[in-house]
Chain A
């Protein structure tokens, strides 16, 4: 097919000098736009990563704060074996204040949940590790009688394992940090 002299002049320019066709310019603009969009999303990705790290850090801080607070509660609770565990449960038991389910500022709960942190105080010597999903050597003696047969040591515990779970959601994913703290009666 022959190119008409008019078209040849428009595409190549006079005297054979090169120029840009509209198509070339459009392709260039499109490629650069894609590049620009990619660059714009960089900060979104960086922000998401930073937020993710920040959330994790906040979760670890919450686990540590609650664990340390449990130790404080255990310290101030009565030395009387009959009262000690009960007073700890008055703070971090299901009916206690603040209770065993806590909100943590700045973190979003798992879907379907209304709290971030959960404290589980083990008062049943007979419960197994697999039942509570943690490797803490259960069943074990918690009341110092040499046996691991008491299903409720609230009235005479000398050791209480407490599991602190923090569960949060970020960017479509659900995350969890867990720590076990051992409360000792002195």
Chain B
């Protein structure tokens, strides 16, 4: 009887241990699969973005205010040129000056250059008055500044490490707007007498004069202290991040033709209120999109919440460069 009891106990212990090991192994393999899938999705997204924009010409949406904008105006703002400004987004006014302000606009006029429904003084700035002629830049654009040799801090927003060395840049780096050669009438040619016919694919098909943009859209929020994980490796648990995805948006003068297609899952991290900031504590800022118009060069850098291993979050950095063979629109 004692022997049977001992044998039974031993078998029970072994079975329990086997069960625990099996459960742990299954969980581990599932975690690794998730990690692998995240990696494949981002690499796949890079390929999708490459295919979408390799024949595009990129835009650097920078213009000036046409008329004065008071600090209390929330209806509309009139800018000099709307080419490349996405349907909704953030505008930096008077960058580098005392009255610098970031505002969010909800939409823009189908024809004309008005940006509508303004949320003033966002991203830590204050609503101010701006005179006609003030600079107005789409804040999604991050681009290298001209002076790359010891610029003063007011000249740039960040410094990033790159395949070719350090680059000083301005902007938040949340996207790039573009146009591609189109053939709406199916003539078999993307070229007219004056050059390529520029436009974009919208919901109704290819439309000349339409625009596209790859942009980052935040979906949810993750808080370091709640997840007990230091996402940006800066040694504290004080930061909050947006978790979002890259979408392909396109629009024409007909608001009903606007199109939005997800290019990645919602696994891309950006520090809330500080898009483009240092995400891995290496001392360099990390804009997601960095556009060098003169070279037709777009650098993509995504920090991805790829999954967990043994219950610990895993953040991975993915990076590539895309050469837009038609360069810049300017």
A interface residues, Cβ below 8 angstroms from B? 19-20, 25, 28-29, 32, 35-36, 39-40, 42-43, 46-47, 50, 53-54, 57, 60-61, 64-66, 68-69, 71-73, 75-76, 91, 97-98, 102, 105
Contacts and interface: CB of A to CB of B under 8 A. Distances in A.
Contacts of B21: 36, 39-40
B294 A50 contact: no
Nearest to A66: B163
B51 interface: no
Nearest to A18: B4
B165 A97 contact: yes
24 contacts: A25-B7, A32-B14, A39-B22, A39-B25, A43-B28, A43-B32, A46-B28, A46-B29, A46-B32, A50-B32, A50-B35, A53-B36, A54-B36, A54-B39, A57-B40, A64-B50, A64-B320, A64-B321, A65-B163, A68-B297, A72-B296, A72-B297, A76-B294, A97-B164
Contacts of A43: 25, 28-29, 32
Contacts of B11: 28
Given A39-B25, A42-B25, A50-B32, A25 B40 contact: no
A65 B7 CA distance: 62
B52 interface: no
Interface in B26-82: 28-29, 32-33, 35-36, 39-40, 43, 46, 50
A91 B164 contact: yes
B322 interface: yes
Pairs of residues from A and B, 6 with the lowest C-beta to C-beta distance, nearest first: A72-B297, A71-B323, A20-B7, A43-B28, A72-B295, A76-B295
Given A20-B3, A43-B28, A102-B163, A72 B318 contact: no
Nearest to B22: A39
B165 A98 contact: yes
B295 A40 contact: no
A69 B25 contact: no
Give the bracket for the number of chain B residues in contact with chain A.
Answer: 35 or more
A75 B35 CA distance: 37
B319 A65 contact: yes
A166 B43 CA distance: 17
A47 B28 CA distance: 9
A3 B33 CA distance: 58
B175 to A, nearest CB: 19
B47 to A, nearest CB: 9
Contact of B296 (A28, A39, A75): A75
B249 interface: no
Nearest to A32: B14
Nearest to B320: A65
B304 to A, nearest CB: 12
B321 A47 contact: no
A17 to B, nearest CB: 9
A76 B324 CA distance: 12
A57 B40 CA distance: 8
A61 B46 contact: yes
B327 interface: yes
Given A36-B18, A47-B28, 12 more contacts: A32-B18, A43-B25, A47-B32, A50-B32, A54-B36, A64-B50, A65-B321, A68-B320, A69-B297, A69-B323, A72-B296, A75-B296
Nearest to A71: B323
Contacts of A47: 28, 32
Interface in B277-326: 292, 294-297, 317-323, 325
A83 to B, nearest CB: 16
Nearest to A41: B25
B26 to A, nearest CB: 9
B191 interface: no
A124 B269 CA distance: 46
Contacts of B327: 75
Nearest to B292: A72
Nearest to A31: B14
A25 B13 CA distance: 12
A73 B323 CA distance: 10
